[in-house]
A and B are shown apart, each in its own frame.
Chain A
């Protein structure tokens, strides 16, 4: 039975529980719903939740856990001799999975599998015909593993379907059996929903933990292959795919910080001032079209900004500033990328700050104006300080956007990792290097590719630090301004 069909059956059972629970509740009260502790729908909802939630949880957990168990068992069937030189368990297992999938397809078409599984060349041909391309003829133990995988998958699927259906029916029956006028169905559904909400937030938290854990794990792997000392203290970034590369992170971190700093120097004043204009001075009519117009900036794809940097801003800066001032003759430069990125993040600063400034109570403005302050004094001395925590948040959001930006940097600042103070020189950032280390034909075994994880972790630490700083600032000013 397919998962889709199973889902439908469970949903049908839940719907039945909804209707039946309701009807039973009304009947148990002799038609007078005032005798019930809760409204009839709550009894229905209770039965429906009991029917659906445990069954679905089981299906989800089962589907997540199944591959781990089954594939380990299948892997144990493969004889070590069949794992080719230079390959690994995971690569062979992916072959096993593809063969198993191909066999499923063939079986679905009604092909006779018995002769194929003993004849590797024929199997390869048949699978190729079915659209599953194999590089070489599979070894007998690989084929056996694939067959075992298929068998285990189908039994596991069968057991899962059975258990899920039993759970759903049992839940439904139990839920219905508890319907009595004095049963507090409203409270029961309430706590049910609470657990559901807790579960959902747990998913988000666990995902984050999982991502960080995998980053840390792979980074540790990288540091086993490449000395941490060189990574953190070397100032050259020069990956060689033949080996012997130097992977010092500083040129990349420097480039990231330099570009982001220029972007913020552009975006914060412009964004903040336009926010002040919109919130404090603009008429309603002006505001209603200026604000969306600024927000459009946030909707432009970054590749378009990149084009703009590459074709317009870069050459312009080179011809009018860098060359006349003797600061270099490259059209890709930190300045180009920083300026364009600054424009991109203006709406992050302005739109959020505008909302925050608007949330400052009018009574504070009145108080200041009533003392004979001008509107701009009021903004500077009362409104902005009151809005500061929120504004800091907006700026840091813009900063994280800038630090994580890739496309504009590739097209505007180039890809050369350099440690330099000259803003008209080409430099590059962490994100760009992550992309370039991972593109192309690579496998995750050499330090040159694994360094991507270390870079990712560095980036993550950088933004995390920024967020903590933001929290600290916000809290500090909260204390002062609340």
Chain B
């Protein structure tokens, strides 16, 4: 029943990000080869694939975070709402405000928990006064399932939290900027099952406002939270489609061996 609802919704969505013949090179290393993907608006897209296949690399292309890596080169065409994000006229700073990111390793700023979450709203001027900012911080921490644990120590350093708490802080920090697309690189890899369930709930909730792309090593998680799934292997996009179809009826033999656990 739920699946049916989702599928009808997916069909109604417009394309948010479109990649055509995307290539990424790290010096001589050809890390992403000819990737074509349409990421839909208000949809959760999962990237799965074995370690080192280029999921993080491709994710970073979508908000030009690869610009900060020396020797990294991106070719092909990636558009956000029809606009080429690698065009010289596009300001990567503005792009990243629209396409937010949660990194594979938690990276809270060496600031208080409050300031970590308030960072984005402050630099983008999203709130008019302190009270509004307080509200945003609280709402984001609640969404990231962290509020109850930190509400009494908002002024203590974010770096003093546990690894899983730090990751949820980073999620709160990313959604506080109200991006249009949220890229999440293995957001749950350091979380316990309860926090994972809360984050998955959050992802499902975010889908009503954002388009979410999530990299995950957990097939169950991909199946639970995403409507579309892309399977990467050795830098190629092997298969991309409805999550249900990928998991129940994969077209490519490599996808099938991966989801049944034969490619590691």
Out of A362, A374, A482, name the residue touching B110 (CB < 8 Å).
A482
Most central of B63, B107, B124, B160 by chain A CB within 10 Å: B107
28 CB-based A-B contacts, threshold 8 Å = A284-B70, A361-B107, A363-B103, A363-B105, A363-B107, A366-B65, A367-B107, A369-B65, A369-B96, A370-B174, A371-B119, A371-B173, A372-B93, A372-B94, A372-B96, A372-B97, A372-B123, A373-B93, A373-B119, A381-B119, A382-B111, A385-B110, A385-B111, A386-B110, A480-B110, A481-B110, A481-B111, A481-B157
Q: Would you call B100 and A370 a contact (CB within 8 A)?
A: yes
A482 CB, nearest partner CB in chain B, Å: 6
A98 interface residue per 8 A CB criterion: no
Digitize A363-389: 1 where CB-to-B-CB distance is under 8 Å, 0 elsewhere: 111111111111001000110011000
Q: Would you call B123 and A373 a contact (CB within 8 A)?
A: yes
Q: Would you call A371 and B68 a contact (CB within 8 A)?
A: no
Hey, which chain B residues are within 8 Å of A481, CB to CB?
110-111, 157, 159
**Complex CA distance for A231 and B70, rounded to whole angstroms:** 61
**Complex CA distance for A373 and B108, rounded to whole angstroms:** 15
> Which residues does B use to contact A, with CB under 8 Å?
63, 65, 68, 70, 93-98, 100-101, 103, 105, 107-112, 119-120, 123-124, 157, 159-160, 170, 173-174, 177
Q: Would you call B100 and A371 a contact (CB within 8 A)?
A: yes
**Complex CA distance for A385 and B111, rounded to whole angstroms:** 8
A284 CB, nearest partner CB in chain B, Å: 7
Hey, which chain A residues are within 8 Å of B109, CB to CB?
364, 367-368, 381-382, 386
Q: Would you call A369 and B68 a contact (CB within 8 A)?
A: yes
Q: Would you call A366 and B110 a contact (CB within 8 A)?
A: no
Hey, which chain A residues are within 8 Å of B119, CB to CB?
368, 371, 373, 381
Q: A371-B101, A381-B119 are in contact. List 14 more A-B contacts (CB 8 A).
A: A361-B107, A363-B103, A367-B109, A370-B100, A370-B103, A371-B97, A371-B120, A371-B174, A371-B177, A372-B96, A372-B123, A373-B119, A386-B109, A482-B157
Q: Would you call A367 and B103 a contact (CB within 8 A)?
A: yes
Closest to A367 in B: B107
Q: Would you call A366 and B173 a contact (CB within 8 A)?
A: no
Q: Chain A interface mostly helix, strand, loop or mixed?
A: helix
Q: Would you call A371 and B96 a contact (CB within 8 A)?
A: yes
Q: How many residues on A have C-beta within 8 angstroms of the other chain's C-beta atoms? A: 24
Hey, which chain B residues are within 8 Å of A366, CB to CB?
65, 68, 103, 107
Hey, which chain A residues are within 8 Å of B68, CB to CB?
362, 365-366, 369
**Complex CA distance for A366 and B109, rounded to whole angstroms:** 10
Out of A368, A377, A482, name the residue touching B159 (CB < 8 Å).
A482
**Complex CA distance for A374 and B65, rounded to whole angstroms:** 12
B63 CB, nearest partner CB in chain A, Å: 7
Chain A contacts with B in 454-482, Cβ cutoff 8 A: 479-482
Number of cross-chain contacts by CB at 8 Å: 81
Closest to B176 in A: A371
**Complex CA distance for A132 and B120, rounded to whole angstroms:** 81
B102 CB, nearest partner CB in chain A, Å: 8
Q: Would you call A372 and B107 a contact (CB within 8 A)?
A: no
**Complex CA distance for A381 and B159, rounded to whole angstroms:** 15
A383 CB, nearest partner CB in chain B, Å: 10
Chain A contacts with B in 326-385, Cβ cutoff 8 A: 361-374, 377, 381-382, 385
**Complex CA distance for A377 and B110, rounded to whole angstroms:** 15
**Complex CA distance for A385 and B108, rounded to whole angstroms:** 13
Chain A contacts with B in 73-127, Cβ cutoff 8 A: none
Given A369-B65, A377-B123 in contact, is the A482-B160 Cβ separation under 8 Å? yes
Digitize A209-222: 1 where CB-to-B-CB distance is under 8 Å, 0 elsewhere: 00000000000000
**Complex CA distance for A377 and B177, rounded to whole angstroms:** 15
4 closest pairs, A vs B, by CB?
Answer: A372-B97, A481-B110, A363-B107, A370-B101
Hey, which chain A residues are within 8 Å of B107, CB to CB?
361, 363-364, 366-367
**Complex CA distance for A440 and B94, rounded to whole angstroms:** 70
Closest to B115 in A: A381
**Complex CA distance for A364 and B108, rounded to whole angstroms:** 7
Hey, which chain B residues are within 8 Å of A370, CB to CB?
63, 65, 96, 100-101, 103, 174
Given A385-B110, A481-B110 in contact, is the A372-B160 Cβ separation under 8 Å? no
Q: Would you call B93 and A374 a contact (CB within 8 A)?
A: yes
Closest to A387 in B: B110
B140 CB, nearest partner CB in chain A, Å: 12
Closest to B95 in A: A372
Hey, which chain B residues are within 8 Å of A362, CB to CB?
68
Hey, which chain B residues are within 8 Å of A364, CB to CB?
107, 109-110
Hey, which chain B residues are within 8 Å of A367, CB to CB?
103, 107-109, 170, 173
A125 CB, nearest partner CB in chain B, Å: 78
Closest to B116 in A: A367
A33 CB, nearest partner CB in chain B, Å: 43
Closest to A283 in B: B70
Closest to B177 in A: A371
Closest to B64 in A: A369
Most central of B111, B170, B174 by chain A CB within 10 Å: B111
